[in-house]
Structure 1
Amino acid sequence: MGHLPHFQLFIDGEWSEGSDARVLTSENPATGQGWATFACASAGDVDRAVAAAKRVLDDPAWRDMTQTARGKLLYRLADLVAEHAPRLGELETTDSGKLLAETAAQTGYVADYYRYFAGLADKVEGTVLPIDKPDMHVFTTREPIGVVAAIVPWNAQMFLTATKLGPALAAGCSVVLKASEIAPVPMLEFARLIEQAGFPPGVVSVITGDAENCAIPLTRHPDIDRIAFTGGPETARHVVRNSAENFAVTSLELGGKSPIVVFDDADLDGAANGLIAGNFGASGQSCVAGTRGLVHRSILEPLIARIEEKAQAIRLGDPLQADTHVGPLCTAAQVHRIEETLSKAQGQGAVIRFGGKATDRPGNYMMPTLVQCTSPETETLQVEMFGPVMSLLPFDTEDEAIALANSTPFGLGSGVFTQNLARAHRVSKRIRAGICWVNTYRAISPIAPFGGFNQSGYGREAGIEAMLDYTRTKTTWISTAQEPMANPFIMR
């Protein structure tokens, strides 16, 4: 194990092992073999990181830095992210199994998120209030909310980090970034760019570790003011309970079972590509995966034929190769869970049109799979599997399609395919989800808010709204009266 690359924690501007010296090995999902080791944080390390983040809020080097200067640091970080995108993408692919073609490109695009928030850093303004008291001058200002605990999962981690770190730093907060203990290597390497960009020590610390020793002590820490969490609903419930200890403002970006509704007037090629993007893109390991395909009965078979034809050209293989379309899943447990779910679906009458099993090659590979369902209760339409599994269910009317689309406790992404503009507006308005893509799928931008409804969480990442969520409003009253305060026992 000693010959494997090793990655340390980044706390208060310094690189270190965890205080209890625990080290874990990260496996390459394409081979099933260990390829790197990393240090794990203890509760004591969490205390160090949070203490540094709290201290730096009162350090003139950060506290008194102008908003414009903070923006310039973020621009520098954006340039470094773009410059190192190939390296970070390669690390993420080796560590998580996601395609290099996507990880490198997505990391390069993530630089635009930092540029967006860099530009917003000196655009958040206060307001002079037209107060109803003539001898008062009253105005509001927005201040940094404080110490932020940013918790990101292993999938799309550069993107999900940027949507938290960008607005938090632009607002003047300090951040303890907790990477998943599954595939954390690119985040630990990313910390080097924070250092190179010139942020004062303590403004950002990057740690990783398990729930008991790292995540729980972080989310319940008394000096945490804001929690930004991306992950699953069950873990989120623990996060919310932990936040009762510190009353931290909390945002949750959780999972989903996103519907993609295909009407009978849809372009079949476009719809097939949208369903493939929503289910097989990122090997299905996406919180917005469109795993509930709802198709008008009259075009179900022609659409399936189109998907089957396109699926024959899908190349499953080494995620580091440029011509690969679907790589391995991050963990072997995902493969087993998908196989069990497919077995239950077949017992419920579902038909697997293609795929449906793991491959016999080394690594955590699952074949792209299409499941034709007859009931909305089919297991594959209910369970978030995080793998390349597409499930299709027919509908007959627009109202039925909308009812099926909304028959889930989740509400993150959704898709509508139709060439009828009125229908596009009508249906997208009625679907209960934070995002609706029409005649496309899986598009993102730093300008567009990202987040869900119901059990897909609350709060928004990206867009101006996200920036404001890392500030709090202060109201200042200044008396302009020439006479001293009158009766102290009567509220003005």
Structure 2
Amino acid sequence: MNESPAQAPSGQTFFGLPYEPDTAYVPLSLYIDGKFIGAGSRRSLPVYDPATEMVIGELPLAERADIDDAILAAQRAFARWKRESPLVRSDILRQAARLIRERASHIGRCITLDQGKPLHEAVAEVFSSAEYLDWHAEEGRRIYGRVVPPRNPDVQQTVLREPVGVCAAFSPWNFPFNQALRKVAAALASGCTLVLKGPEESPSAIVALARAFHDAGLPHGCFNIVWGEPSEVSTQLIESPIVRKISFTGSVPVGRHLAALAAGQMKRMTMELGGHAPVIVCEDADVARAATMLAAYKFRNAGQVCVSPTRFFVQRAVYADFVSQYVDEVRKIQLGHGLSNGVTMGPLAHGRRLTAMTGFVEDAKAHGAEVATGGRSPEAVGHFFEPTVILAPPPESRLMNEEPFGPLVGIVPFQDIDEALAEANRLPFGLASYAFTDSARYAHKISRELEAGMVNINHFGMGPAEIPFGGIKDSGLGSEGGTETFDGYLVTKFVTQMHS
């Protein structure tokens, strides 16, 4: 499908704020064996601005031969890259980080255009992501083995940590730069090469990432990007005998499917899947601080965040006070085009998300819940949905069972902490969780008993590169970030040698 890019008319306004169309969207391409490859005779896919619903670019889709070329390029590059000095690998990652910081403003504008988030969020995503390259550049120099004391003095025993080989990575549309970069940084720092299939909906970040590594001097073939029908591309990559490791960030159903494919090939995998993060606000918490922090954190990226706080459990003694202050904060959120000044929440990335949000709201109301604010899609161009707070949705409602992945919150009162923990742990998800309390006893109990890969108490502390990021239960396998990030990219080799 090929269409000519179009722009929103000059002088258009969104929710009373002016918006001028931006013409700086990047040309899109494949990146294989060090070459940026345009559509040519290939099929292409239109890329839309979710705020204007106008076509802003054309994305070339890889043919089967292109994907094979990318895999073979990664295989050839691996033979050299795995033997490259960790110091050289470190220098290239640091150079890429420098280029990303220099280009953050433009990369961020393109993310706002194809993904929808406000410009300040997009630029912050790009700029802060460079830290992951610096951190992996340094830690990649410290991938050590060990010597094991032998039982026989004539024997030398060593344990080596070696890169697993060619990796296939699949990154999501909600944080297109950050989520892809985490995978690229871990693979390259450990000595692996990779083929990345990024999100077709928000592709500019991936092309910019490839350009940064290209300009930083990364050897050709170490990093390749392809686009296409997700099921076809993922199957071809995973079934290739050359690919030895899979990394995926996305929904639980898709993760299950890819994990089954990878398991059938006995391939290593890292899976960062969906969440439905609980929040526990205790009666001794600083209610005003919790309400303000949670309102800002929940609606960043329009709630399209796998660690977004979604199920709020508030102790009955402070429930009314929290609800009042939280709703006041939510009503301050300014919808609009992400390039307009003053906007704090942009559109949803896809039109299909509007249908999903409406379904959640209608189901909650049918179950007797109250919509405190929001609950509808404004009559405006674009994929906008109001920040929505729903009070007392019952346990059987969809909102309290399915991850909405959008600007929806359910707030439920609880009497004692065991009741809140039981409800928080009831679902099969276990990615992020949050609690607000000034009680050391409550904090200790919550930290031990919440079933989640990450527990945040009185702040949000999951962002730094040195922190392992991952979930338990249906929310995934393995971690990205922290020293654990290398576990999926390294194999352990034991060498024992007797001296004659």
Equivalent position of 1:488 in the other structure: none
Letter in 2 for 1:74: L
Any residues of structure 2 matched to 1:54-93 within 5 Å, and which? 54-59=75-80, 62-93=81-112
Distance 1:362 1:79, change over 3 A: same
Q: Deviations over 1:447-485 (max 9, x none)?
A: 1000001111010000011123311111111111x3xxx
What is the identity percentage for the equivalent residue pairs of Structure 1 and Structure 2? 32
Any residues of structure 2 matched to 1:93-108 within 5 Å, and which? 93-108=112-127
Given the alignment, which residue of 47, 60, 64 partners 1:26? 47
Bigger mean CA deviation after superposition, 244-253 or 149-158: 244-253
Q: Deviations over 1:243-300 (max 9, x none)?
A: 1343210110001110000001111112112331342121101000111001111211
Which runs of structure 1 show a deviation greater than 6 angstroms over 4 or more consecutive aligned residues?
none
Equivalent position of 2:352 in the other structure: 333
Equivalent position of 2:234 in the other structure: 215
Equivalent position of 1:397 in the other structure: 416
Letter in 1 for 2:379: D
Bigger mean CA deviation after superposition, 357-366 or 461-470: 461-470
Q: Deviations over 1:379-424 (max 9, x none)?
A: 2111212111111011100110110110111000000000112211
Distance 1:18 1:243, change over 3 A: farther
Equivalent position of 2:57 in the other structure: 36
Q: What secondary structure is seen at the aligned counterpart in 2 of 1:384?
A: coil
Cα distance, 1:20 vs structure 2: 6.3
Bigger mean CA deviation after superposition, 421-430 or 172-181: 421-430
Letter in 2 for 1:21: R
RMSD, aligned CA: 1.5
Any residues of structure 2 matched to 1:416-455 within 5 Å, and which? 416-441=435-460, 443-455=462-474
Distance in 1 of aligned mates of 2:440 and 2:120: 34
Bigger mean CA deviation after superposition, 317-326 or 385-394: 317-326
Distance in 2 of aligned mates of 1:68 and 1:277: 40
1:323 aligns with 2:356: no
Given the alignment, which residue of 452, 460, 466 partners 2:479? 460
Q: 1:224 touches 1:246 (CA, 8 Å); kept in 2?
A: no
Q: 1:124 touches 1:142 (CA, 8 Å); kept in 2?
A: yes
Distance in 2 of aligned mates of 1:382 and 1:277: 23
Equivalent position of 1:344 in the other structure: 363
Distance in 2 of aligned mates of 1:264 and 1:240: 42
1:112 aligns with 2:135: no
Q: 1:77 touches 1:194 (CA, 8 Å); kept in 2?
A: yes
Distance in 2 of aligned mates of 1:206 and 1:313: 40
Q: Deviations over 1:331-363 (max 9, x none)?
A: 010011110111011101111011000011110
Q: 2:298 touches 2:308 (CA, 8 Å); kept in 1?
A: yes
Distance in 1 of aligned mates of 2:73 and 2:492: 24
Q: What secondary structure is seen at the aligned counterpart in 1 of 2:307?
A: coil
Q: 1:275 touches 1:293 (CA, 8 Å); kept in 2?
A: no
Equivalent position of 2:18 in the other structure: none
Q: Deviations over 1:140-165 (max 9, x none)?
A: 11111100111101111211122211
Given the alignment, which residue of 202, 219, 225 partners 1:200? 219
| Number of residues of Structure 1 aligned to a counterpart in Structure 2 | 479
Equivalent position of 1:9 in the other structure: 30
Distance in 2 of aligned mates of 1:3 and 1:352: 39
Equivalent position of 1:49 in the other structure: 70
Cα distance, 1:118 vs structure 2: 0.3
Distance in 2 of aligned mates of 1:389 and 1:285: 10
Equivalent position of 1:490 in the other structure: none
Distance in 2 of aligned mates of 1:30 and 1:199: 35
Distance in 1 of aligned mates of 2:414 and 2:304: 26
Cα distance, 1:374 vs structure 2: 4.6
Cα distance, 1:323 vs structure 2: 1.6
Q: TM-score, normalised by structure 2?
A: 0.93
Distance 1:108 1:374, change over 3 A: closer
Q: 1:229 touches 1:251 (CA, 8 Å); kept in 2?
A: yes
Letter in 2 for 1:151: F
Q: TM-score, normalised by structure 1?
A: 0.95
Q: Deviations over 1:59-79 (max 9, x none)?
A: 3xx243201110011100111
5+ residue gaps, structure 1? 483-492
Cα distance, 1:99 vs structure 2: 1.5
Distance in 2 of aligned mates of 1:288 and 1:465: 19
Distance in 2 of aligned mates of 1:3 and 1:281: 28
Q: What secondary structure is seen at the aligned counterpart in 2 of 1:469?
A: helix
Q: Deviations over 1:192-214 (max 9, x none)?
A: 11110101100000112112432
Q: What secondary structure is seen at the aligned counterpart in 2 of 1:199?
A: coil
Q: What secondary structure is seen at the aligned counterpart in 2 of 1:467?
A: helix
Cα distance, 1:189 vs structure 2: 2.5
Given the alignment, which residue of 400, 404, 407 partners 2:426? 407
Distance in 2 of aligned mates of 1:20 and 1:264: 63
Equivalent position of 1:476 in the other structure: 495
Letter in 2 for 1:79: R
Distance in 2 of aligned mates of 1:420 and 1:383: 31
Letter in 2 for 1:328: P
Equivalent position of 2:266 in the other structure: 247
Q: 2:269 touches 2:488 (CA, 8 Å); kept in 1?
A: no
Q: What secondary structure is seen at the aligned counterpart in 2 of 1:139?
A: strand
